[in-house]
Amino acid sequence: MIEEQLGPQEQLLWAGRPPAGLLLRPAEAFLIPFSLLWCGFAIFWECAAITQIADPLFVLFGIPFVLMGLYIVFGRFVYDIKEREHTFYGLTNERVLIVSGIVRRTVKSLNLRTLSDVSMTERPDGSGTITFGHGSFFPWSFQSAGWPGIKTVPTFERIANVKEVYDLLRQAQRIAA
């Protein structure tokens, strides 16, 4: 997938992918309780509207809230798993590449010469995340949490041997400069 994106003189230095399956992030400490409260209240509202109020307007009013509640409890995890299944990372002698997309392919390309604000977070097992740029609290909180349409900071998320890839990236930046 990454090799299809390479230019004529471009050399692939590293390629990888995010981990498969369910992935819990630090933001889940807030998002899971919030989603359960939201969904629980929305379902309570719908049940009350159906059994006690009998006004179709109240029943209809609650449906979008129940659907949103179900998405934030379950659907966002399914979306995140599917999105990571279709995500590929690449580092070349010229740029960083992130190819992703469930329905349509999106290619994010970051030039090594102009790339700044690169940070690395390493886990005890040697895996970790390389972040390209910085964001505000809101995008970080909901980053890769299965929220379609929210712009996120480009990352190589939870890759194996993150320190080696980070060092390779820094070396490629020095050569490209």
pLDDT of 90-114, one tens digit each? 999 999 999 998 888 999 999 999 9
CA separation for the pair 170, 76 (Å, rounded): 34
pLDDT value at residue 177: 76
Residue-wise pLDDT tens digits, 19-63: 999 988 888 899 999 999 999 999 999 998 888 876 788 889 899
CA separation for the pair 100, 89 (Å, rounded): 9
What is the pLDDT confidence band of residue 144, given thresholds at 50, 70 and 90?
very low
pTM, 2 dp: 0.82
pLDDT value at residue 139: 44
Residues in the chain: 177
pLDDT value at residue 58: 83
DSSP 3: G
Averaged pLDDT for residues 60-77: 93
**Which has more confidence, 135 or 169?**
169
Mean pLDDT for all residues in the chain? 88
* From 71-80, 90-99, 102-111, 132-141, the region with the lowest mean pLDDT: 132-141
Residue type, position 9, single letter:
Q
Cα distances from 109 to residues 78, 90, 114, in angstroms, run 26, 10, 11
Q: Which CATH class is domain 90-176?
A: mainly beta
What are the domain boundaries of the chain? Answer: 28-82, 90-176
pLDDT value at residue 161: 95
